[in-house]
Structure 1
Amino acid sequence: MENQAGTENKKKVVAVVGGGLVGALNACFFAKRGFEVEVFETREDIRTARTVKGRSINLALSHRGRQALKNVGMEEKIVSKGIPMHARMIHSLSGKQSPIPYGKKGQFILSVDRANLNKELLTEAETYTNTKLNFDHKLQDWSSESGLMTFTRSDGSRKQVQADLIVGCDGAFSAIRKQFLRRSRFNYSQTYIPHGYMELTMPPVNGEFAMKPNYLHIWPRNTFMMIALPNLDKTFTCTLFMPFEEFEKITTGEEVLEFFQKCFPDAIPLIGAEALRRDYFRLPAQAMVSVKCSPYHIGDKCVLMGDAAHAVVPFYGQGMNAGFEDCIVFDEIMDQFNEDFSAVLPEYTRVRVPDDHAIADLAMYNYVEMRAHVNSRWFLFRKYVDNLLHVLMPKTIVPLYTMVTFTRTRYHETVERWQWQNKVINRGLLFGAAGAVAGGSYLLIKNPPDINQLVLRGEQIWSRIVALKKS
């Protein structure tokens, strides 16, 4: 059954450049409002392609992304094809596994398949009679004054399209954004991190998952790490994040096994020694880039969204969620300014730039947390303290991860609040320690405690509080 699009603004044409996740979702948002929507994608239609080229890092869908999908009636369909992950599962060198919950009981993020999600969104966009999908269309040129665009196809033919609004959703290396770079007072930066990523597959064992499926598994090794996310076919997609120079040191199958034996011994029997020898060299390690720019618009004719505006490294699981939230924020501003592009576009830049810059910075920070901090007993103790205070004062103290992942609190506000909370909590812990020193200085001088003992004591107190709460 086709979606019913409104009649208002039927004659206005919105051209969405890029048929990836954010472009396809945007097409739904604009079509729902009644605009004539044309989507232009350089690649062939991934729904009929034999092989799907492009990134395949598994996606973690959380609240922000779900809210955007909900607005176009897609949440339930996508959630039903995702696998809930309630916690991080930390794998130590010895093979011990320790869970760190993401939030309160019942809170989880979803492991979803990128290609399937993209296909579902394209199919949904096509259900609107006022939407047309154009594949094998590569943008050659466009005008910010007239809205005229020129596309070429693989057979050499050309096509020109006139649009009232051009929406650039064409990724981190956006062709739309190139024209922004020629303009005065456009700020742009890109940063490649020194780490690359490589994907490996962990097959099922006797038809079942090789590890517990409802977790995001992490092997933190301080300067690098491996993660694993579950898939519907009972496999895990394992992603090894490591400095390029470390990848390049490994040149033979035996060296691969030696490296895994040293750093991830429990993963070898699960992935398979032969598969490791083979798959490690199948594709070279891929680069990761962080992009920031401002403003996101030119006049009332063009706006950037998703990776074209703010590519982020994948360590907070917010790249897709931030891109999807772009769509819903733009939609809310469209309501606020009655779809007047001359007012909507500058307001979108004003509202969204500080938030996207904040999540880009948080994603960089979270890589250090995932690969190193989770090994620290002090970090785990602080997690206990933060969670305890959140239980006691749910409106005053909210853990950073909870704000980012399970609310739509603006990203830049979550950073400000997190920094304030850290000062308050650290000061409280300091005063508490000072009080203990003042009350028992003689004993402390005679028998100074070990930090591990303090952390252990904190964990014991926390366990008792949890037990009391349950009773």
Structure 2
Amino acid sequence: MDYSTNDSKSTSKKKVVAVVGGGLVGNLNACYFAKRGFQVEVFESREDIRQAKIVKGRSINLVLSHRGRQALKHVGMEDTIISKGIPMHSRMIHALNGTQSPIPYGKKGQYILSIDRANLNKELLSGRRMKFLIPMSPGEHAHHEYHLSEEIQADLIVGCDGAFSAIRKQFLRQSRFNYSQTYIPHGYLEFTIPPINGEFAMKPNNLHIWPRNTFMMIALPNLDKTFTCTLFMPFEEFEKVTTGDKVIEFFQKYFPDAIPLIGAEALKRDFFRLPAQAMVSVKCSPYHFGDKCVLMGDAAHAMVPFYGQGMNAGFEDCLVFNEIMDQLNEDFSAVLPEYTRVRVPDDQAIADLAMYNYVEMREHVNSKWFLFRKNVDNFLHIIMPRTIIPLYTMVTFTRTRYHKVVKHWHWQDKVRKDIVHVHSTLFKGL
């Protein structure tokens, strides 16, 4: 598809940017480059989701926070997207006995947003003239075909084609390109909690979590008053549940309050509708090749979904690249290596934090020590707001660089332990 604007910065021939991948990061990137006056073409193998009857792909709900909002704000889309999201002010912890306890995300007024993936992508596709460039399927009429062998001249290729990026695959041919992918031993399945009498079946302004130490279930609210539930669990545990009766037995043991919400028959049906899906973490470096090609989003740094930062980090890629373009006057030969230098340590840091947060969500939130530590962090943040900042606050409600977040977190952890040690010593002496 073509992205074009009428606010071109120059009457001279525009530079051409080819964005490969018409997902969230690819489409936001197209908006950024179009705003700068570039001629932008987006290449996507799937059909236009605005016309598709069924939108294929992952359906895990998205969480939009400060970094993603700032990236959307720059292209004038923040308010539109926020109006179609549902604020979540806290985690709502579901104990095994059915009691519910909220853990606020940040200070009063701070929240994250539950966003529908397909709706967000449709919004990013709207507002500009577009033409999809799609590979020809066998049997299609000639006037529908698009010959991928046709040579496309572009000044810059931007790879936004996901965790299994075809663009990144070409980087593997180059010397000194580092790449790793790690599948975690856990998969996920999705269920739906329907409305009750036309209203949400649970409190909607929370991210609901059923932490069960080695696995967990979460639920995020949708605009249609449903909740999307996602069960994260080791594949070997999924494989033990082989019949509908065992599904109900499993839920009665670990998530008894969810059975009437989802419905016993829906549980038995949806548990086997699809196999449990895998989750992969991808790291690579550098993100660029010469002055002609750069990777962003999952193509550069796919991560597991447990910090809600995959989309936000991808959107921030676009914003950071745009900021570097301003600093270096759109000189690709300088911009691309600087983007790699700045962004690689940050994206790899948040990928590691995403792994860590799974343990926190499924296990630590059950711990009295975790709640005590969180209260200590919040108290210290009140009296020293610029010195002590909770980890989640730094990640979710600021644009502090991710790798600096990790360094500050480790320093704070030492300070907290020293404070707790001093207080423990004092109390023992009384």
User: Could you say which TM-score interval applies, normalised by the shorter chain?
Assistant: over 0.9
Task: Report the Cα distance in structure 2 between the residues aligned to 1:121 and 1:222, rounded to whole angstroms.
Answer: 38
How far does the alpha carbon of each residue in 1:403-431 deviate from its partner, in whole angstroms, 9 at most, with x for none? 00000000000000000000011111101
Does the CA contact (< 8 Å) of 1:40 and 1:133 recur in 2?
no
Task: Report the Cα distance in structure 2 between the residues aligned to 1:275 and 1:304, rounded to whole angstroms.
Answer: 40
Question: TM-score normalized by structure 2?
Answer: 0.96
Question: TM-score normalized by structure 1?
Answer: 0.87
Q: Residues 41 and 220 from structure 1, CA distance in 2 versus in 1: closer, same or farther, beyond 3 angstroms?
A: same
Aligned residue for 1:14? 17
Q: What aligned pairs does 1:172-251 form with structure 2 within 5 A after superposition?
A: 172-251=163-242
Does the CA contact (< 8 Å) of 1:84 and 1:110 recur in 2?
yes
Q: Does 1:47 align with 2:50?
A: yes
Q: CA deviation at 1:436?
A: 1.7
SS of the residue corresponding to residue 314 of structure 1 reads: coil
Aligned residue for 1:286? 277
Q: What aligned pairs does 1:295-444 form with structure 2 within 5 A after superposition?
A: 295-437=286-428, 439-440=429-430
Task: Report the Cα distance in structure 1 between the residues aligned to 2:297 and 2:423, rounded to whole angstroms.
Answer: 45
How far does the alpha carbon of each residue in 1:157-198 deviate from its partner, in whole angstroms, 9 at most, with x for none? 443311000000000000000110011000000000000010
Does the CA contact (< 8 Å) of 2:247 and 2:267 recur in 1?
yes
Task: Report the Cα distance in structure 2 between the residues aligned to 1:228 and 1:114, rounded to whole angstroms.
Answer: 15
Within the candidate set 88, 94, 112, 1:85 is matched to 88
How far does the alpha carbon of each residue in 1:333-389 deviate from its partner, in whole angstroms, 9 at most, with x for none? 000000000000000000000000000000000000000000000000000000011
Structure 1 stretch displaced more, 361-370 or 6-15: 6-15
Does the CA contact (< 8 Å) of 1:216 and 1:229 recur in 2?
yes
Q: Give % identity.
A: 78
Does the CA contact (< 8 Å) of 1:358 and 1:412 recur in 2?
yes
Task: Report the Cα distance in structure 2 between the residues aligned to 1:309 and 1:114, rounded to whole angstroms.
Answer: 20
Which one-letter code corresponds to 2:14 in the other structure? K
Q: Residues 224 and 176 from structure 1, CA distance in 2 versus in 1: closer, same or farther, beyond 3 angstroms?
A: same
Does the CA contact (< 8 Å) of 2:135 and 2:147 recur in 1?
no
Within the candidate set 5, 15, 19, 2:7 is matched to 5
For the pair shown, the structure with the greater C-alpha radius of gyration is 1
Q: CA deviation at 1:6?
A: 2.2
Task: Report the Cα distance in structure 1 between the residues aligned to 2:299 and 2:321, rounded to whole angstroms.
Answer: 15
Task: Report the Cα distance in structure 1 between the residues aligned to 2:143 and 2:195, rounded to whole angstroms.
Answer: 41
SS of the residue corresponding to residue 321 of structure 1 reads: helix
Q: CA deviation at 1:154?
A: 8.6
Does the CA contact (< 8 Å) of 1:10 and 1:35 recur in 2?
no
Task: Report the Cα distance in structure 2 between the residues aligned to 1:328 and 1:432, rounded to whole angstroms.
Answer: 44
Does the CA contact (< 8 Å) of 2:5 and 2:34 recur in 1?
no
Aligned residue for 2:139? none
How far does the alpha carbon of each residue in 1:300-336 deviate from its partner, in whole angstroms, 9 at most, with x for none? 0000000000000000000000000000000000000
Which one-letter code corresponds to 1:91 in the other structure? H
Which one-letter code corresponds to 2:75 in the other structure? V
Aligned residue for 1:102? 105
Q: CA deviation at 1:7?
A: 2.8
Q: CA deviation at 1:155?
A: 4.8
Q: Residues 288 and 398 from structure 1, CA distance in 2 versus in 1: closer, same or farther, beyond 3 angstroms?
A: same
Task: Report the Cα distance in structure 2 between the residues aligned to 1:247 and 1:5, rounded to whole angstroms.
Answer: 53
Does the CA contact (< 8 Å) of 1:223 and 1:371 recur in 2?
yes
Within the candidate set 120, 125, 130, 1:122 is matched to 125
Within the candidate set 54, 59, 79, 1:56 is matched to 59
What's the Cα RMSD here?
1.5
Number of residue-to-residue matches in the alignment: 420
Aligned residue for 2:132? 134
SS of the residue corresponding to residue 240 of structure 1 reads: strand
Task: Report the Cα distance in structure 2 between the residues aligned to 1:133 and 1:160, rounded to whole angstroms.
Answer: 17
Q: CA deviation at 1:85?
A: 0.1
Does the CA contact (< 8 Å) of 1:168 and 1:308 recur in 2?
yes
Task: Report the Cα distance in structure 2 between the residues aligned to 1:200 and 1:302, rounded to whole angstroms.
Answer: 39
How far does the alpha carbon of each residue in 1:84-122 deviate from its partner, in whole angstroms, 9 at most, with x for none? 000000000000000000000000000000000001101
Task: Report the Cα distance in structure 2 between the residues aligned to 1:302 and 1:4, rounded to whole angstroms.
Answer: 26
How far does the alpha carbon of each residue in 1:259-302 deviate from its partner, in whole angstroms, 9 at most, with x for none? 00000000000000010011111111000000000000000000
Q: CA deviation at 1:153?
A: 11
Does the CA contact (< 8 Å) of 1:313 and 1:363 recur in 2?
yes
Q: Residues 366 and 10 from structure 1, CA distance in 2 versus in 1: closer, same or farther, beyond 3 angstroms?
A: farther
SS of the residue corresponding to residue 347 of structure 2 reads: helix
User: Structure 1: which 5+ runs fail to align?
Assistant: 139-151, 441-471
Structure 1 stretch displaced more, 397-406 or 5-14: 5-14
Does the CA contact (< 8 Å) of 1:217 and 1:229 recur in 2?
yes
Task: Report the Cα distance in structure 1 between the residues aligned to 2:7 and 2:226, rounded to whole angstroms.
Answer: 40
Does the CA contact (< 8 Å) of 2:283 and 2:302 recur in 1?
yes
How far does the alpha carbon of each residue in 1:119-151 deviate from its partner, in whole angstroms, 9 at most, with x for none? 110113x25xxxx4424248xxxxxxxxxxxxx
Task: Report the Cα distance in structure 1 between the residues aligned to 2:143 and 2:339, rounded to whole angstroms.
Answer: 32
How far does the alpha carbon of each residue in 1:427-454 deviate from its partner, in whole angstroms, 9 at most, with x for none? 11101111222x23xxxxxxxxxxxxxx
Does the CA contact (< 8 Å) of 1:10 and 1:34 recur in 2?
no
Aligned residue for 1:257? 248
Does the CA contact (< 8 Å) of 1:44 and 1:135 recur in 2?
no
User: Structure 2: which 5+ runs fail to align?
Assistant: 137-141
Task: Report the Cα distance in structure 1 between the residues aligned to 2:159 and 2:144, rounded to whole angstroms.
Answer: 21
Task: Report the Cα distance in structure 2 between the residues aligned to 1:404 and 1:281, rounded to whole angstroms.
Answer: 36
Task: Report the Cα distance in structure 2 between the residues aligned to 1:156 and 1:120, rounded to whole angstroms.
Answer: 25
Structure 1 stretch displaced more, 246-255 or 82-91: 246-255
Q: Residues 153 and 241 from structure 1, CA distance in 2 versus in 1: closer, same or farther, beyond 3 angstroms?
A: farther
Does the CA contact (< 8 Å) of 2:190 and 2:230 recur in 1?
yes
Does the CA contact (< 8 Å) of 1:103 and 1:402 recur in 2?
yes
Task: Report the Cα distance in structure 1 between the residues aligned to 2:325 and 2:196, rounded to whole angstroms.
Answer: 50
